[in-house]
Amino acid sequence: MTAEEDGIYRVRGEKPERWIRRTDFNDDEAVGYLADRLNRLGVEDELRKAGAQAGDGVAIGAEDNAVVFDWVPTMAAGAEMLGRRGKDDRLEAPRPTAARRHERDVAQREYDEFAPF
């Protein structure tokens, strides 16, 4: 991995270059799968070590035929809360505002029904 004068980080290697050629960039799931594979290969760690920041340009492949994209690091904190791809278990949990609204409605109903005399 090298950082060029133009601010683009270059990734070279048999696996990343092959994966790039086989990825359908119109398919979000395929792009996510590619990102996961690159991360497991250690590309994200190397980008961090090289000084890359979110939004920096990354080129994978030979200079004349590289795929260039803005780097978006994977989420480090909270990733363990995510389920399988396409499902976020955090969205399944009860929302605090809904619980408070329910409590308020119950209290209002009890108040409306209260008849002391």
pTM of the model: 0.57
Give strand pairing partners of 3. 9
- Residue 95 structure tokens: 């929302």
The residue extents of the domains of the chain are: 2-113
DSSP secondary structure, 89-106, as one string: GGGTSPPHHHHHHHHHHH
pLDDT in tens, the chain (117 residues): 555 556 789 999 999 999 999 999 888 888 889 989 999 999 999 999 998 888 899 999 988 889 998 888 876 545 555 556 666 666 666 666 777 788 888 998 998 888 887
Contacts of 58 (CB under 8 A, 6+ apart): 8, 9, 10, 11, 47, 52, 68, 69, 70, 71
What dotted CATH number matches 2-113?
Answer: 3.30.300.350
